[in-house]
Amino acid sequence: MISLQRIFALSLAGLILWNCESKTPPMEYMPDMADSPAREAQEADSNFPNNTSLRLPPVGAVPQEYYPYEYAGWTQSLDALPNKGLANPIKGDLATLQKGEIKYQTYCSPCHGVRGQGNGTVVGPAPRLNMAQADGSPMAALTSASAKAYSDGQIYHIITEGKGAMKSYASQVLPEDRWKIILYVRKLQEYDNRTAGK
């Protein structure tokens, strides 16, 4: 007579083999625990007070890789920025300057020129396309005495918030890349200082 243990072992082995070779998925015990029902982004959901599946982020939540700019919306003059704005946290090694040059040539040179002299392809030697400053003066040269007098934080503020005819580049240039552009602009200014009398 076949023992009860042998019947159980054969039944278990048969069940395992049947599940391995079955063309249909195996039976699940409590399937909602394995596959919870998902909601579409705009779908109604009566489980929540606002009847929507969209969840509001917690108060004070900040997206990843986002750093709020503490001088956003600053309307006073650049000279009134506390401590002349933020300090540049990036060191100017060769790789950083090369990245700054790439970003400068992409975003800044069309107006400010390849060497920062305010004669980019958009404005040209004589202002074109009405790209003069608000007071009618030509496009700002980054090698001018006033631009050289700006602190890194003030230039960062101009890139972030805009100034005069220049609009904000905050949506196009990452904060880290803005600092790299500033380091490259400082190199352009150094070059201009060396070649000013020549």
Mean pLDDT throughout 150-176? 92
What mean pLDDT do residues 105-120 have?
Answer: 89
What is this structure's pTM? 0.66
Q: Minimal CA–CA distance to 181: which of 64, 111, 88?
A: 88
What is each CA distance from 152 to 60, 155, 160, in whole angstroms?
29, 5, 12
Q: Kindly tell me if the per-residue pLDDT of 127 is higher than 70.
A: no
Average per-residue pLDDT for the chain: 83
State the DSSP code for 58: P
Residue-level pLDDT at 55: 80
